[in-house]
Amino acid sequence: MPTSKPSVRRRPREEAGAKAGAGRKPRARAAKPNPPRAPKPRPKPAPKPKVPKPPRPVRLADPRKRLRVSLIGVCVVLSLFGGRLVQLQGLDASTYAATASEIGRDRFSIKAERGEILDRNGAVLANTAEAYDIAVDQTQVTNPAAYALQLEEHLDIDAGTLQQKLTGDDRFVYLAKAVPGATWRDIKALGLAGLYAHDAAARDYPAGGVAGNIVGVLGADGVGLTGLEQSMNDLLAGEDGQASYQYSPAGQRIPTSAEDSVQQPVPGTGLRLTVDRDLQWFTQQALAEAVDHAGAAGGAAVVMDVDTQEVLAMAGTPDFDPSEPGRTDAEDRGNKAVEDSYEPGSVFKPLTLAAVVEEGLADASTVYSVPDHIRRSGETIHDYYSHGEDQMTLAGIMAKSSNVGTVLAAQDLDKSTFRSYLEKFGLGTPPGIGLPAATGGILPKEWADLTRDNIAFGQGVSVSALQMASAYATIANGGVRVEPSMVAATIGPDGEETPAEPGKTTRVISEETAAEITMMMEAVMGDDGTGEPARVEGYRVAGKTGTAQRVDPDCGCYAKYNSSFMGFAPADDPQYVVVVSLFAPTNGNSGGGLAGPAFADIMRFALEQGGVAPSGTEPPQVPLFAE
C-alpha cells in the first residue's frame, strides 16, 4: 500500500505576513509597473484554394421589342412633321398666303369726289377740279439733281427741296399734292422714270369771294376748315377708295398680278343752297362800301325771304376768297352775321312793343307822357336827343325811337312773360342754320327791374344779325316764325335732289299784333321818323334805325357804337327782310345815316331781281303825338 504523506497545511501569504510583521510598522514598497506583454502572434490560416466561378449565361434581347420602340419613335417624328404641314398648308395657309402676297405690294388711297355746293339757281360755288397727287419711287431716279431742275418750274417748289424728296431708297414719296391736271400732263411729257400720279380731287371755287364766308374752305388734308365745308364735311366728303398693286423686286408694277385690287370711292353728297349768287354779290359790295364810308371796323348784312325765312344772302367784312385763303387772316374767314353778337340798340324796340301790344297793355294810339330822361333803379336813362315832356303815342315812341317812352310802355310787362316772347323770337339760342360757330347771343336768365328797362330799348342783351333778321321776318310773316335755313336740298351722286325738311314754325304774336307793329314801323319811314335815308322809291318800307353803345373789351366799358338799319318791304305785302349792321363806325353813329343807304340799295336790288311790283298804296297816317 502506498504510504500516504502527511499533508502540509500552508498558511496563506497574507496571513503569514501579518504574523511576521506583527508589532512592526510595515515598510512601504515602491510599486513596479508591470511591463506590457507582447501579444502572441496568431498563426495565419492557410489560404483557401480558389475555385473558378462558372460562366454567366448570355441573354439576347428580344428583337420584336426593339422594333416596336423604334417604330414608335419614327411615328412620333413623322406626326410632328405631319402636324406642322397641316398647320402650314391647312390651318395657317391663308395667313401665310396673305403675308406672301404683301411682299412687293403698295396701296394707294383714291380720293372720293367731293360734293358740289350750288346756289339756289344751280350756279356753282364749289366743285371738284381735276387734280393729282404726284409721288416718286426713289430707287428709279438716276439723277435727283437733274429731275429737280426739270420739275421746279412745273411744281412751284424750289429745286433743293425737290432734290431731297427725290433722293433715297424709298419706293413711295409724295412730291406734291393737288396738282392741276394740266400740270401733271406737262410733267408726264418729260418722260422721267419713277414718277406716278393718283387722283386728288382738288377743290375749286369758281365764284371766288362770292359767298366765301358761307361756303368756307378745305385744309391741306382735304377736310373742311370753315363754313359749310366744315359743318357739312362728312356729307360732302364721301368715302375714299383704295388701290392695291404688286411690284417686282426691280420696282416694276406687275400688270397681270392676280392680287391687284381697286376699291372704288363713293362720291360725296352735294348741296343746293337757298343763297342767290347775284344777290349775295351785290350785298357784299353794298356792305363793303357802307363799312368804308362809315370808317367802321366791320359789318354784317342778311337778306331773308319772308315766307320761307330762307337766307338769300349773308355777308360779313372783310370778304373771304377760299381760292386764296392765305390772303385773309384766320379770324376773318368766318361769318360775322352768325358768329358776332352785339347789343342791338333801338332796332330791338319792335320786339319789345310787339310783346306790349300782344299782352294788351297798349296799341299804336296809346299816349304816354315822355320826358327826355328818367331815373330807374338808381340809373338815368336818356333819349338820344333833348326834348320836353312830350305826349307821345306808342307809334310816336317807335318813330322817334324814344328810349324813355319804350321803358314806360314796357314797365307793366311781366319780366318772365317778356323773356318768353324774346325766346320765341329766336333769341338766346343758336340758329340751326348749318354754319359752324353760330352764336345764340346773350339773353339774361335773371331779370331785375333795371334789366327789363335796359333790354326794352336793346341794351343788356346781345344778338347776331341773323337772329334779328329772323325776328323781323316773324313780324313780316304775320307773327309766325320759321326756323331760318340755308340748305334747300342735298344732291346725291346720281344727281337726284332731296329737298331739305322745312323749318319748325312757331306762332309768336297774333296776326293783328304783327299788323299793328308793321304800321308803327312804317311811321319810322315817314317825314317825322328817323328812317328817311333808308327809303326805297316806289315801295312801302317798314323799318327801324338803331344806334347802340358798344362795349370796348380793353376797358370793359361802353366806348364806341354800332349803327344798324333793319326792315322789310313791301310793307303792304312783305317779301324780303334786310338787316345791315356796322360795327364801331368812326364817321358818325347814326343808324339811319350810315346803315340806311346800304339797306335801301340791297332792298331795291332784291325787289327788282325778284320781280316784285311797286306798292300801289300809300302808307297809313299814324299820329305820333297826342292831338
Quote the Cα angle for 357-362-366, to 5°. Answer: 135
* Secondary structure (DSSP) of 88-118: IIIITHHHHHHHHHHTTEEEEEEPPPPPPEE
Among residues 248, 452, 196, the alpha carbon closest in space to that of 348 is found at: 452
| Spatial separation of the C-alpha atoms in residues 219 and 237, rounded to whole Å | 13
Q: Is 33 helix (H, G, I), strand (E, B) or coil?
A: coil
Do residues 434 and 389 lie in contact, with contact meaning Cβ atoms separated by under 8 Å? Answer: no
3-state secondary structure 506-546: EECCCHHHHHHHHHHHHHHCCCCCCCHHHCCCCCCCEEEEE
Is 346 part of the annotated catalytic residue set? yes
3-state secondary structure of 552: strand
Cα-based torsion angle of the residue sequence 486, 490, 495, 496 in order, rounded to the nearest 10 degrees = -120
Three-state secondary-structure class, residue 412: coil
Query: Is 53 exposed, middle or buried, given 0-12, 13-18 or 19+ CB atoms closer than 10 A?
Result: exposed
- Rounded Cα–Cα distance for residues 128 and 269 (Å): 12
Cell numbers representing residue 572 in the block: 303792304
From 346, 402, 485, 581, active-site residue: 346
**CA atoms of 518 and 350, how far apart (whole Å):** 9
Within 8 A by CB and 6+ apart from 186, the residues are 154
Give the pairing of strands 505-507 and 480-482.
Answer: antiparallel
Is residue 482 helix, strand or coil?
strand
Cβ atoms of residues 215 and 227 within 8 Å = yes
On the CB side of 232, CA atoms within 13 Å amount to 28
CA distances to 49, 404, 454 from 380, in Å? 150, 10, 11
Positions annotated as catalytic residues are 346
